[in-house]
Structure 1
Amino acid sequence: MLSQPIRYTFGGDEQLFAEISESMSLPAFFKSLGMVQAIEAQRIDGILDVCLANASFQVRFNPDVIHPDILLAKVKALESMAQDHSKQRLDTRIVEIPVLYNDPWTHETLMRFRDRHQDPNSTDLEYAARINGLKDVQAFIDAHCGSPWFVSMVGFVAGLPFMFQMVEQAKQLEVPKYLSPRTDTPKQTLGHGGCFGCIYSARGAGGYQMFGVTPAPIYDPQQTLSYLKDSMVFFRTGDIVQFNPIDRAEYDRILEEVENGTFAPKTQAFTFDLQDYQADPEQYKKTMMEVLYVD
């Protein structure tokens, strides 16, 4: 686990922000998760909510019930509890998400906003491939779907997952956001900003580079789809996502299943163990894929 101390700051009168690390990593996420679980288990009077993020967490509290300094002392006292090795295991899911890369809808959209892009003469995929030192768009797509992604938080807009690819730091795909945000992004677009990937759950503004689109709805306020009956939001923090490249014919077939109410993403329950993953990441990822694609 990470050895650096947690950095605490207050945001206004009702927020305590805790920064585990300045950069995202699985150890940082699990340390943050352990702290959130420890805080929630204490049921401290005055705490209204605890929000887990990529490499941090935030506590919302009522200062009329608990003084900020007392809250800070109580949270700091839980740091040793969060080091419990049991917090390095997480009961989660492995999920396959079909993706039509280089699709016509995101292409049409990105062409309308080239004046806001770092390279107006390239598409988002061409730009991403070039600045990551990859020979062409297909090489970038291969890298993007070549290793699974870890959902480190869900939010910003309803149902939107932030994902961190499970590869060594030197292989992280990094692409800056647009110079200024677009006013339009197709629903279910695969986006990328910095080292984070996301899926836009609804149509709207956005600043991440656009690589493709999935036919699989991830947010359904009406909860008409079978796999969204229990929750209108599909993704959960800790989900492990494998992107599966598909062609237009497969996209249309899945979309028809969605419209008929018969589609559900391939999903398998899985207990992720951080120590086992760190011991041999490549073999561990192979094991995860065997679990996902078991007959």
Structure 2
Amino acid sequence: MKTRYTFGGDEHLFVECSEEMSLAPFFKVLSLTEAIKKGNIEGVTEICPANASFQLRFNPDIIEPNTLLNKVKKIEQESENNIQKEIKTRIIEIPVLYNDPWTHETLMRFRDRHQKPDGTDLEYASEINNYQSVEAFIEAHSSSPWFVSMVGFVAGLPFMYQMVEREQQIQVPKYLRPRTDTPKLTLGHGGCFACIYSVKGAGGYQMFGVTPLPIYDPKQDVRYLEDFMVFFRPGDIIKFRPIERNEYDQIVREIEVNTYKPNIKEVTFNLDEYNRDINSYNKNLVQKISE
């Protein structure tokens, strides 16, 4: 689609690069926001990238809205044949206790808001994605890597896009009505996106499990969050690893005494190489986290 520009109130310009999510519009957003940042447009106070769009906040007393619009359109035209296709990033292993007792208790309390009141979220997701069992669904969910395309909405919450062929993507609708409760660090899913709830609160995504790893710490007491309170960054690649309750408890104890170190490897991601052979590229990525 042609890039769509919309003003939001007096101080925001919303730029939509695509109506549907894929990695290509993410990289266009990445390139445009980097070019805008380097352009040092006077009056722009904030740049907020999202999955396939971004929003600029500006001071209308410094720059007139249509002047900003024209400057951004010019940057887009100049960047059209120079979209960034390669980034240096991280692949991060995230341990997950699927079908845990805490999200199970919560989802059973809110069955009247669910499409399938007589089952669980994992059973529902398995069924509508044509998996023969919950175990087969968990294998599909955890075996492929996921791309962090956005961090936000709630502080530290990552939106993750599954790195598989489109026809293989797991898709699940949100609850019919949102819950008023979601346990902290719940692994959720809505539409084609996975997320991890960084804090306890309301939510509507299907709940598959929990991770023991804090991903947002405003006090920065957690060892691996000492440099920055938010764990994830756009462009991170995530590999979920199913764990049992005993390992979950052990990781929690290690985090409490600040001895736990997440499994993170530095990698280079190239969009063109990925698109040429997704399965082989993913296999090499996943292998790096176990080296």
Bin for the TM-score computed over the shorter chain: over 0.9
Match of 1:251 in 2: 248
**Selected match of 2:149 from 143, 147, 152:** 152
Match of 1:16 in 2: 13
**Selected match of 2:177 from 160, 175, 180:** 180
Does residue 1:201 correspond to 2:198, yes or no?
yes
Q: Secondary structure at the match of 1:145?
A: helix
- The answer to whether the 8 Å contact 1:51/1:57 transfers is yes
- 2:83, 2:33 → 1: CA distance? 14
- 1:283, 1:104 → 2: CA distance? 36
- 2:189, 2:261 → 1: CA distance? 24
Amino acid in structure 1 at the alignment position of 2:146: W
Q: Secondary structure at the match of 1:252?
A: helix
- 1:60, 1:82 → 2: CA distance? 21
Amino acid in structure 1 at the alignment position of 2:285: M
1:202-236 deviation per Cα after TM superposition (whole angstroms, max 9, x unaligned): 11111100000001111112211211000111001
**1:285 positional shift:** 1.0
Percent identity, aligned pairs only, is: 62
- The answer to whether the 8 Å contact 2:179/2:202 transfers is yes
Does residue 1:116 correspond to 2:120, yes or no?
no
Match of 1:75 in 2: 72
Q: Secondary structure at the match of 1:91?
A: strand
TM-score, structure 2 normalization: 0.98
Query: Unaligned 5+ residue runs, structure 2?
Result: none
**Selected match of 2:212 from 215, 219, 225:** 215
- The answer to whether the 8 Å contact 1:89/1:273 transfers is yes
- 2:182, 2:261 → 1: CA distance? 24
TM-score, structure 1 normalization: 0.96
- The answer to whether the 8 Å contact 2:172/2:206 transfers is yes
Point out 4+ residue stretches in structure 1 off by more than 6 angstroms: none
Match of 1:33 in 2: 30
Match of 2:273 in 1: 276
- The answer to whether the 8 Å contact 1:7/1:20 transfers is yes
**1:291 positional shift:** 1.9
- The answer to whether the 8 Å contact 2:2/2:17 transfers is yes
Does residue 1:242 correspond to 2:239, yes or no?
yes
Q: Secondary structure at the match of 2:62?
A: coil
Query: Unaligned 5+ residue runs, structure 1?
Result: none
- The answer to whether the 8 Å contact 2:27/2:83 transfers is no
**Selected match of 1:63 from 60, 64, 74:** 60
**1:137 positional shift:** 0.7
Match of 2:229 in 1: 232
- 1:76, 1:40 → 2: CA distance? 14
Amino acid in structure 2 at the alignment position of 1:102: N
- The answer to whether the 8 Å contact 1:99/1:215 transfers is yes
Amino acid in structure 1 at the alignment position of 2:151: V
Q: Secondary structure at the match of 2:143?
A: coil
- The answer to whether the 8 Å contact 2:28/2:83 transfers is no
- The answer to whether the 8 Å contact 2:157/2:195 transfers is yes
- 1:240, 1:6 → 2: CA distance? 26
Indicate how the Cα distance of structure 1 residues 262 and 84 shifts in structure 2: closer, same or farther if over 3 A, else same: farther
Match of 2:90 in 1: 93
Q: Secondary structure at the match of 1:87?
A: coil
Q: What is the Cα-based RMSD across aligned positions, in Å? A: 1.0
**1:290 positional shift:** 2.3
**1:85 positional shift:** 4.4
Q: Secondary structure at the match of 2:76?
A: coil
